[in-house]
Each structure stands twice: as structure tokens, then as C-alpha cells.
Structure 1
Amino acid sequence: MEEPTTGIIRTVLGDIKPEELGYVDYHEHLFQVTPLLPGEELESEEKSQVEADLLVSAGISAIIDATPTGLGRNPAAVARISQATGLKIVHTTGAHHGGHYPQGHHLRALTVEELALVFVEDVMKGFRDGADGRGEKVPSAAGEPICAGVVKAGVRYWQIGDFETKVLHAAAICHGETGVSVMVHLDYGSASHEVLDLLESLGVPPHRVILAHVDRNLDSGLHSELASRGAYLGYDGAARHREAPDSAIIETLYAVVQDGHADRLLLGGDVARASRYIAYGGMPGLQYLPLRFIPRLHKEVGPDVMEMILRTNPARSLAFNSELLQTERKS
């Protein structure tokens, strides 16, 4: 598989070299508002900064903020948090599955081409205000545009409906025009091969796809199949003990590593709820991943594999060749 060995990673504070990224939590939400999680809104910049500080103190250098268009994202605040804490943040563009957007939502009325234009401009020219991402540009404190570095789509449990298909097509266009990777939310880890098949038919090779939440289906055989195709596998179910204990996730990860696929694995927390943020009075907070989960996994797979999962794989998955960008950031 051909993957970029050089290039850039686009953060909210500008472009960096892949080797500058450090240890990565590949999936978090500093801000999020969705009708699917009433009462769990993440809207406080002050509290999100507290969580970011705790994450940095626990050893994480960078995150992907996985909140896409129309779900309460706040790029200007994310950039301020990055500046204040030193946490490098790659923000997503794109859209989630249709369950997050009620009938009549602006995004539902957009065509594939209109969605793709929003996504591409988020990467190339910077985020804009508005629920549909088509308002005024959002500048950083320094006046620079705040740009996305990955595009997101999502599918429901064994269902890729009309809206989800439209977003996947638009995400594929965004990838083709910019080179950024495509992250896909999989409800309960379902429809993974089907998503890869669709994206591949649209010109997105599996090694430019990040499959989020594969560990909501703890099937190491399936995971090895997906890794064999080249996809990056996002494990982000730690601390969800009602669904599966951490030990089960670690056992699955270990099995996939033993199958020879350590180079396809990513780790994230996806805490995503106010009731799980320490800063909002909940627990376990963003620090759970590096403080509790990573040390246990380290004992099983060793330092070399952990370095690959936390540093090498995220950098490779997020890097893209800047030559594909036809427009300057300030345009």
C-alpha cells in the first residue's frame, strides 16, 4: 500500500510535520451538541480547557477533535485551547449520520456537491460559522484561518441510508481534492467492509480510511480482515464497562497485533459526554485513556508496539501531501 512518508498534518494552529505530532488520542470531542445526547452538551470552553490540560498532564500530545459540521463545534475556542495547553488538535470537517440531524436541518437539504464544497473549504480555506458551515470565516486569535485536517462521515447500525451515502460521497470528493483521510463513525462497529467497499469505489483507498468504534464489535478476526485491507482501526471504547470491560478490548487488540497488524491500530477515548467529563463534575474524564488504559495495554504489547499505536500510526494516518492543495490557506 502506498502511504505518505512526508507531507503535513493540518492542525487548528497551522500545519506541522508528522514527526511533531507526538502521542495521539485519535478521537475526542471538546465541544458537542446533539439531539441524541440531551443533557450531555459540551459547550464550556473553560471546562474543555481543564480536560485538555489533564490529558496533556497524563502524557498525550495531540488529539483529533471529531465533532463535525452542525453539532456544536467551536473551532475558535478549540484553537484557543490548543494555544493555552500546548495540545495539538486536528479538527474534523464532514458530517455525522442522519440521526444527529433532525428533519429540516440545513445539512439535509444540501446536495453531494454542496456538501463537498463545505468540506473542501474547511480544509483548504478554513472553517465558517453557521450550522451549515457556510457563514463567515472563523479566524484564530492571530487572524489566521482555522482549518480542518480530516473529513468525517458516519453510518448507523447496519444501515447506510440516503443521507449517509450522500455524506460519504462528499467526503470522498473532499479526500480526492485535498488528500485528507476519511474518518467514518460505525454504529456498534457495523458495516465496516461495506463502508470500505463504497469508499474504495469512490476512489478512497482503504489506507486513507479510519474506522472509528471498531471495538464496539470485539471480533479480532474481523479486525484483522479490515487491517489486511489497509484500513486504520480506531479503538475508543475504554471505560464503557456496561458494554465490554477494558480487558476484552485489550485482548482483542493483542490478538490483532499477534496477527501482524500493529501498524493499523489507533487509540482514542471518545468521552463525548458532560457526565463523563471531570470538569463537568463527572468521570472518568479524558485522562482515563493515558492514565488507566494505556498502561495495561503496554504490559501486553510492549513499548515498540505502543510507540507505533500512539505515535507512528496516527501521524501516518493524518499526513497528506500539501502539493494537492491548490489554494493557499489565506485565500
Structure 2
Amino acid sequence: MSGAPVIRTVLGDLDPSQLGVLDYHEHLFQSSPLLAGEELSDEALSGREAGFLHDAGVDAMIEATPTGLGRDVEAVARISARLGLSVVHTTGAHHSGHYAQGERLLALSVGALAERFTADIASGFLRQDGSPATAPDGGPVRAGLTKAGIRYWAINGFEYRVLEASAATSTRTGCAVMVHLDHGSGAHEVLDILDRHGVPAGRVCLAHIDRNLDPGLHTSLAERGAFLGYDGVARHREAPDSAILDCMEKVAAAGAARSILLGGDVARASRYRAYGGIPGLDYLPTRFLPRLVERIGSELVQLVTVQNGARLLTLPG
């Protein structure tokens, strides 16, 4: 590769210094058997919800919906263009529980998965008819990172293949790998698997690590270089926001603020204001971020919300 490093958005490549405040984990379009009745499928409503996020001071987001779960990359590109919100889209695949029995994706080999994921980043997404997906300016819509997922302390054959294929995609393109961890489990194990396939921990984002609020664990993962994806705010049945703040403060105090990423992962129609629910995507910047500033200070929050995301998403030139 040659040239300057870039961040790959759905509207083209961006200088990393231009990314701004990042929400590292959201979904504008999504459908899954595990979330029946919670589908995000309306471009006007999803665009309105994204507007709430942007109006609250978020400059960029990762659209974390991977292959086969109702993603609409061309609609995401149109929303991005209308709002001026930078969007980095994932490729990859989720854990097998998110797919219906008989889904063809589940039978693909590592090689076939890696070829598909790599193409999404290098040349662009394809429509269902095999033609290229296009942005409003006619250019390709490309992914900027890849995704894998595991169940609660369980990694089946498909999930191993997706991890291996995501590793191959990362080594070919330089992209980061986001990994969904059910309840924050299996974090070191996932890092070990990816490392064996050539991906250092510094190119891995561990999503949902705050579903296990263990600052000692988080610090040990950060010491390996991994990014820590905190995205459990406004899930008060599982843990109050104060518990997440406590954990983040301890991790930052241990010198690991450089590893923290922050997102909402709201991901359900019943929680999107535009779809008639609450609290909405803007809960993160309007309700949680001010409390985080009080805890760790504006300088570290700038590190968490701006600098860390740019490092995660930067592709080599």
C-alpha cells in the first residue's frame, strides 16, 4: 500500500484528523431473529434518529450491522450525505444465533468469507443482484472495518471461521476487527485466536466489554493493546450508568484511557425516538457524556471520543 493513511467511510476516504467525535457502535438498519419486532428498516426514520445524534454533537459513527442482518448500505450513504455525519460501515458477520436456520452464510468456508469481507472494504458492497452499491455521488460504498461475534463463553465452528476470515481481511487491508462478546465473555480468548491469525490486539475492538464491569479485566486487556468498547449505557436492568462510570474511571486511573471507546448500541426500534420509543441515540452525548466529563475530565474524554476512534479506524496508506 502507498499514500496517506485514511479512514474509509461510506462516502469515501477521510483524513483521520477530520473524523471528530465518534460514536463507535450504532445501527441504522438491522433485523435479526433474536430481535423480532425491533427491526430498523425505514430510511426516513433511521435518518431522523441519526440526525438527533448528529445534532447532539457527534460527528461520526460506526454502523455495526454486518452481513445478512438487514443492512442497507446505500441508504446509510444517503443519510450520511444529507446530515454531514461521517459513517464507517462494518463488514463481517455476527454470531450464528443472529441468523435463521439454513442461512447460506453459515455454510461458507473461511476463504469464501474472507473474500467477501475483503471485497466489501477494498472495492465496495454489492447489492443483492450482484451490482455495485453506490453512494449519492456515484462512487462505491465501502466498509471500513470488519466484525465477528461470539456467544456467552462459546465459539462454534461458524464463529471460528468468521474470526479467521476477519483476521485475513485485517491482514490484507489493514482494517480493525470489532468483536461482539456476549456479556463481555471470552475477551482474552478472542485476542488469542486473532493473534494466532496475525492480528495484534491493537487492531481489535472488544464490543460490550462493559457487560462485565471488571476494571481489572479491562486493564489487563488494555495492557495487551486492545480497544475496550463501552456501549451499555441506558441499560439499567443490567447495570446503572453510575456503574459504567465507576468502571471507566478506574480503568482511566490505571492508565488505560487510550484504549477506551464509547458507543450506544441502542439497536432496537423500541429505543429509537424516531420509531416511537425512548431514550434515543442522543442519550449518549446528552445524558452520559457530561457525567463522564465530570468523572475523568474533558481532556481524557477528548481522547476517548476523538483520538481513540481515529486510531482504531485508520487504514494504512
Range into which the TM-score falls when normalised by the shorter chain? over 0.9
Deviation for aligned residue 1:320: 1.3
Hey, what does 2:19 align to over in structure 1? 21
Deviation for aligned residue 1:102: 2.0
Of residues 265, 274, 278 in structure 2, which corresponds to 1:283? 278
Hey, what does 2:57 align to over in structure 1? 59
1:110 equivalent to 2:108? Answer yes
Contact (CA 8 Å) 2:81, 2:136: kept in 1 or not?
no
Aligned-partner Cα distance in 1 for 2:203–2:24: 14
- Give the SS at the match of 1:183: strand
Aligned-partner Cα distance in 1 for 2:136–2:48: 20
Deviation for aligned residue 1:129: 1.9
1:41 equivalent to 2:39? Answer yes
Give a deviation string over 1:75-112, Cα, whole Å, max 9, x none: 00000000001110000000000001122101012110
Of residues 186, 204, 207 in structure 1, which corresponds to 2:181? 186
Hey, what does 2:203 align to over in structure 1? 208
1:247 equivalent to 2:242? Answer yes
1:221 equivalent to 2:216? Answer yes
- Give the SS at the match of 1:153: strand
Aligned-partner Cα distance in 2 for 1:147–1:226: 30
Aligned length: 314
Hey, what does 1:143 align to over in structure 2? 138
Aligned residue identity for 2:238? E
Hey, what does 1:299 align to over in structure 2? 294
Identity of aligned residues (%): 57
Hey, what does 1:265 align to over in structure 2? 260
- Give the SS at the match of 1:266: strand
- Give the SS at the match of 1:41: coil
- Off by >6 Å, runs of 4+ in structure 1: none
- Give the SS at the match of 1:135: coil
Give a deviation string over 1:151-196, Cα, whole Å, max 9, x none: 0000000001101000000000100110000000000000000000
Aligned residue identity for 1:201? R
Hey, what does 1:326 align to over in structure 2? none
Aligned residue identity for 1:26? Y
Consecutive unaligned residues in structure 2, runs of 5 or more? none
Deviation for aligned residue 1:198: 0.3
Deviation for aligned residue 1:292: 0.2
Aligned-partner Cα distance in 1 for 2:130–2:154: 31
Of residues 298, 301, 321 in structure 1, which corresponds to 2:316? 321
Give a deviation string over 1:23-68, Cα, whole Å, max 9, x none: 0000000000100000000000001111111111100000000000
Consecutive unaligned residues in structure 1, runs of 5 or more? 1-5, 323-331
Aligned residue identity for 2:147? K
Contact (CA 8 Å) 2:126, 2:132: kept in 1 or not?
yes
RMSD: 0.8
Aligned residue identity for 2:70? G
Aligned-partner Cα distance in 1 for 2:164–2:11: 28
Aligned-partner Cα distance in 1 for 2:245–2:297: 13
Give a deviation string over 1:198-237, Cα, whole Å, max 9, x none: 0001000000000000000000000000000000000000
Deviation for aligned residue 1:136: 2.0
Aligned-partner Cα distance in 2 for 1:69–1:175: 16
Give a deviation string over 1:241-283, Cα, whole Å, max 9, x none: 0000000000000000000001000000000000000001000
Deviation for aligned residue 1:135: 2.3
Aligned-partner Cα distance in 1 for 2:131–2:223: 43
1:157 equivalent to 2:155? Answer no
Contact (CA 8 Å) 2:16, 2:310: kept in 1 or not?
yes
